[in-house]
Amino acid sequence: MKTERNADTGERLKKIERELQQIKQMLQQVLGEKAIASILPEQDNDIININQAMELLKLDRHILYAKCNNKDIPCFRVGKQYKFKRSELVEWQAAQKEVDDTKVDDYVTRYLSKNPVRG
């Protein structure tokens, strides 16, 4: 009985593998090799995680998470984790250096306009 089930499972797996190969071949024909290569990330666009972004930007974890939540920094989510393109972070960091430092009063005013005090 178990031998028959194992044989059935083995045959089904082989069938699935053949079908996946056919799908892969069809995609290659439809998209072409250039389109497939464009989907793959380039060296400059390495995807990095939150720890690597912290090192690159020299920011604390809680500040980086706050910037991600507020969409102040280029990022995207994979499941529950934030991911970053290294090249976008480098560009963002360069743009931040060009922006003049804001005064504390301006920051507080902007914060309070976005988050009114409830009481």
Percent of the chain with pLDDT strictly greater than 70: 76
Architecture of the domain delimited by 43-114: Orthogonal Bundle (1.10)
Each domain of the chain, given as residue ranges in start order, spans: 1-40, 43-114
Q: Using an 8 Å Cβ cutoff, are 23 and 15 in contact? A: no
Query: pLDDT, tens digit, for every residue of 43-84?
Result: 445 899 999 999 999 999 999 999 999 999 999 999 999 999
How far apart, in whole angstroms, are the C-alpha atoms of residue 117 and residue 9? 62
Phi first, then psi: give them for residue 82, nearest 5 degrees: -80, 140
Q: Using an 8 Å Cβ cutoff, are 55 and 48 in contact? A: no
